[in-house]
Amino acid sequence: MSDKYNKEEESVLQKIQNQTGCLLLVIGVAMLAFVLTDLLSSRTGIFGGGPSANAVGEINGESVSYTEYDNRYKTTLLRAQQNNPGLEINAQMQESFKQQAWNSIVQEKLVQREYNDLGLTVSGAELEDITLGANTHPQLQQAFKNPETNQFDKAALSKFLREDIQTNPDAKEQWIIFENELTKQIVTEKYTQLLELSYYVTELEARHAIFEEQAVRGVNVVGLNYATIADSTISVSDAEIKAYLNDHKAEYEQEASRDIEYVKLNVIATAEDTASAAKYITDIKPRFEKSEDDSSFVSINNSETPFDPSYLPRGKFSSDVEDDIFNADNGEVLGPYLNSGVYSLFKVVDVKQDSISSVRASHILFRANSGDTLQALADARKALADIRAGRADFAELAKEKNVDASRNQGGDLGWLRKESFNAPKKFIDEAKRTPVGGYFIVKTKQGAQLGKVTGAPTRKTVQVAQMSVRVDASTETDRAVYRQAGELLSAISTEEGTFEEIVERNKFTKGVAKNINEKDRRVSGIDNGNIVARWLFADDTEEGDVSDILEFDNMYVIARVSKVREEGMPDIEDVREKIEPLVRDQKKAEKLRPQVEEAIAKAEGATALAKELNTVVTPVPDLNYRDGNIPYVGQDEKLVGAAFGTKIGERTDVLTGKNGVYVIFVEREAEIKFPDDLTEKQVELREQKTQTLAPAVEQALVDLGNVKDQRYKFY
């Protein structure tokens, strides 16, 4: 961006944003986030724009048109660029802004209606109060500070509102935007406060919470595990699985989803492509050496790495190039270097001396066991003596002693500065006082560190222009892979055999992705699931269908629909693996329960019952109510609940658990101490609940609103 724009006077909206650190366009799904208005579109209102054939989704039965969403996304993107001059929008940020735009529409169509139904508004009197009244909003106080006193200048705010915006249309429009956003924030805060104030914790709830925290009982467990009956002796029919499924519908209801099997054909640069990139970077080197405007040069020539005007110290470059850069003269061009598929030239533009020095060092950490720092220091001194005498190797000791990433680098910590987080300040200070190749020992919170200086302290920093070109597959390479995909697709259409057999016959590897749905379009092994979903959820795509060639960045995919699941109850085969063991255990319980009931009728006490059943007593001296786990029995809340619902000195009835049939004998319990005043516990529980109340209510509104996100059809 030119200096002309950098020198322009900031708008009031920019002042407010810069002073408060608030980027009004960047919003999240949280209840307290600002909800954007579509100020740059048709201004038909937040509920404008009826159902559209080109819908990107549906909210509460109302269609969201492509135009409405696209306008919101573009507005979000434009405002972000306006409020952050020079911001480079990469693909990841684009996805983030797309999601923000969608979230804002969802909030408006669901949450805003709640506000309207409750009559939550901001009156003119309230707006007056938070602007020119007695309670000016903190954002305005920050934006309208007197530069000399650094105090809020209400007169400047008054002048802006009464005079400036009347003569400056742009300022007026920006103020309207800010006022709308502020109004929405205040209404959101009112709604949140309303939710929080509506929640109350009773004394009974407080007593129960204390009981859950403290309740411990000593019990003896006697029973027969299902494992005592071999699975092979119990058959489970489809009718029994279906009956179980019908009895537990709520647990197994499913969303519509689909499975695919697929083949990826990656477009990988060939040796010829690598040679072409190497030739390009080599040919451009002489022009780079002669360039007088290096920033423009890397920009005009589409360098993978934009020009960075910063002066960088040691440690900011990759190890294969850093020494060369810091030993180079001004104007010298180094390279080309190949790193992670990118050829790069580095030109040293300028050199400066920083106020902070850097030093390179390695370390070995000697931990203080049980806090014995003196022993750690003694161990470090002994190790140093062994290293100097040739009896030990520094790098090997580092690998043995260190627990950080340096253990596999001979203890190397890289170049350290005073703000470095991977070494204590005293270690860095001592390293700067030690000559290259010298050793030192410092005492630390963890014990002791033996250090070795491997690079002399330096204040040198460099400004470097980097001209980079990625080794990409050529058009010819891309076409060759596409032809392969076409041949494979033809084979799948004409040859005998399953998808997997044909794929393997043609020497490709099959991938599998399961449970893909319209909400969660992630496909294992493929970055952009939207492209797959666009085909997978098309109206005419059915189970067994094979896709055309799906095109991705540097990849082609051919997929087959291996399974279609409709919304509602699953097919038996889809849940057989989950339900069959449960039904088998039920049938085992039917066999074991009579044995335990017969034995308990003859026995008094845990020992006698165990003898009758030819098993052992499992003592549990400290069964915790909250834990829900019984040693040697497993996680079983039903059994734990029965144990705590039985009086001391008595036993439970015969219980059918998750892993067997049991009787629990309750022997004793720990005393539970309830405070005389439960107010503190009530306040604690209320605070815990209200922290998650607003997001939970918002999620409930989204669930009830039946939000369908189908943006993948267009993006």
| Domain extents in the chain | 3-196, 216-253+574-669, 257-268+475-565, 269-472
Mean pLDDT for 89-114 is: 84
Mean pLDDT for 703-714 is: 85
Mean pLDDT score across all residues of the chain: 86
Mean pLDDT for 120-142 is: 87
Chain centroid offset of residue 196 CA: 28
Q: Is the pLDDT of residue 45 over 60?
A: no
- pLDDT (0 to 100) of residue 86: 62
| pLDDT bucket at 34, cuts 50 / 70 / 90 | very low
Q: Assign residue 577 a region (left: φ > 0; alpha: ψ between -120 and 50; beta: otherwise).
A: alpha
- pLDDT (0 to 100) of residue 388: 93
Q: Which of 102, 113, 110 is nearest to 702 (CA)?
A: 110
Q: Looking at the domain that runs over 269-472, which CATH code has it been given?
A: 3.10.50.40
Mean pLDDT for 26-41 is: 30
- pLDDT (0 to 100) of residue 53: 56
- pLDDT (0 to 100) of residue 506: 93
**Among residues of the chain, what percentage have pLDDT more than 70?**
92
Q: Looking at the domain that runs over 257-268+475-565, which CATH code has it been given?
A: 3.10.50.40
- pLDDT (0 to 100) of residue 488: 95
Mean pLDDT for 555-575 is: 91
Distance from C-alpha of 283 to C-alpha of 360, rounded to nearest angstrom: 36
Q: Is the pLDDT of residue 344 over 80?
A: yes
Place of tokens 């449970």: 515
In this prediction the pTM is 0.61
| pLDDT bucket at 60, cuts 50 / 70 / 90 | confident
- pLDDT (0 to 100) of residue 114: 83
Report the range out of 83-87, 89-93, 233-237 with the highest average pLDDT: 233-237
- pLDDT (0 to 100) of residue 346: 96
| pLDDT bucket at 108, cuts 50 / 70 / 90 | confident
Indicate if 269-472 has the same CATH topology as 257-268+475-565: yes
Mean pLDDT for 34-63 is: 52
Task: Please tell me the least confidently modeled range out of 80-84, 434-438, 541-545.
Answer: 80-84
| pLDDT bucket at 29, cuts 50 / 70 / 90 | very low
Long-range contacts of 59-65 (CB under 8 A, 24+ apart): 59/105, 59/106, 59/109, 59/110, 59/705, 59/706, 59/707, 59/708, 60/109, 60/110, 60/705, 60/706, 60/707, 61/706, 62/109, 64/105, 64/109
Q: Is the pLDDT of residue 160 over 90?
A: no
- pLDDT (0 to 100) of residue 605: 93
